[in-house]
Structure 1
Amino acid sequence: MDIEQAAKAADIKAIEEVVATVERTQRAKDAEGFLALFHPDALWTTAHGKVLIGFAEIAEFTRAVLPGANWDGEVTYEVVHVQFLRPDVAAVKVRQVYHAPDGSEGAPLYVMTREADGPWLLTAGQNTQVVRDPA
């Protein structure tokens, strides 16, 4: 494996760790842990279409909603694809599954960025609720 491939593999592992932290903080309903993953200028859209612009709006919403979130069972997040748009920008497709009787699922797309040698951060996110065909 050459240096470029090794760096890309390390970035993918770091991105997967961010998504694992999203899962862990969502399960624990840990608003502050979740918010630590965001870029200060982030843009976020919830599965129900609520648009949150900037860290302050994301934080206000998260602190109000996450601690009292009500879902049955556990939620899991799985990275299904990482597309590097630049070496410091990645589009990350995630599968979000609520392991509950209704089996609801989300299909988030995260845009993550990395400053210099800093951590990967959530910079833009669009969650989409998966609607199953009733047939």
Structure 2
Amino acid sequence: MNTESTAYAADIEAVKQVVATVEHSQQHKDPDEFLALFHPDAVWTTAHGKVLIGLDAISEFTRKVLPAANWDGKVSYEVVHVLFIRPDVAAVKVRQRYLTPDDESEGAPLYVMTKQDDGRWLLTACQNTGVLAD
């Protein structure tokens, strides 16, 4: 993919917007906003290794845990690297930080996103990996 092209820049921005929406949905503990980002056949692996296959399983898990989360909305997501595997498939490395009154934790998710026929990028295969403190 030509990194100088307007299409490349637009796709990078679209991918970053998906990650920004993940952040917003987590900050506001909004399952609907979060779930709207997923491909129907998505695969999600949680930071604790729970494998969720398909939007129904991801939805059931998310609706249970997201509203009950204890991070008080203090969470940030930062895109640190985007690799276009094909023009319509991107591997996106993210830095994730959760802040609670007593603790801070970090994650290093990998999101594989696919570009749909309508131009939207969706989360398709994701691994949410926790980072151990030194």
**Interval of TM-score (by shorter of Structure 1 and Structure 2):** over 0.9
Task: Provide the residue aligned with 1:53 in structure 2.
Answer: 53
The answer as to 2:2 corresponding to 1:9 is: no
Equivalent residue number for residue 129 of structure 1:
130
Distance change (3 Å), C-alpha of 1:32 and 1:121: same
Structure 1 residues without counterparts, runs of 5 or longer: none
By how many angstroms is 1:73 displaced? Answer: 5.8
User: Going by fraction, where is helix more abundant, 1 or 2?
Assistant: 1
Deviations 1:59-96 (A, max 9, x none): 00001111111125610000000000000000000000
| Counterparts of 1:27 and 1:73, CA distance in 2 | 4
Q: Which moved more, 1:28-37 or 1:63-72?
A: 63-72
Measured in 2, the distance between the counterparts of 1:73 and 1:102 equals 13
Provide structure 2 residue ranges, at least 5 long, that are not aligned to the other structure. Answer: none
Map of 1:34 onto structure 2: 34
Give me the whole-angstrom Cα distance separating, in 1, the residues matched to 2:27 and 2:6.
Answer: 31
SS in 1 for 2:104: coil
Q: TM-score, normalised by structure 2?
A: 0.93
Asked whether the equivalents of residues 96 and 108 of structure 2 are also in contact (C-alpha less than 8 Å), the reply is yes
Equivalence map 1:19-98=2 (5 Å): 19-72=19-72, 74-98=74-98
Show structure 1 runs of 4+ deviating over 3 A. none
Secondary structure at 2:26's aligned position in 1? helix
Q: What is the letter of the counterpart of residue 28 of structure 1?
A: H
What amino acid is the match of 2:40? P
Q: How does 1:83-122 map to 2 (within 5 A)?
A: 83-100=83-100, 101-122=102-123
Cα distance change, pair 98–3 in 1 and its aligned pair in 2 (3 A): closer
Question: Counterpart of 2:23 in structure 1: which amino acid?
Answer: E
Deviation at 1:99, TM superposition (A): 2.9
Distance 1:131 1:86, change over 3 A: same
- SS at 1:97 equivalent: strand
Aligned pair count reads 132
The one-letter amino acid of 1:117's match is: D
SS in 1 for 2:80: strand
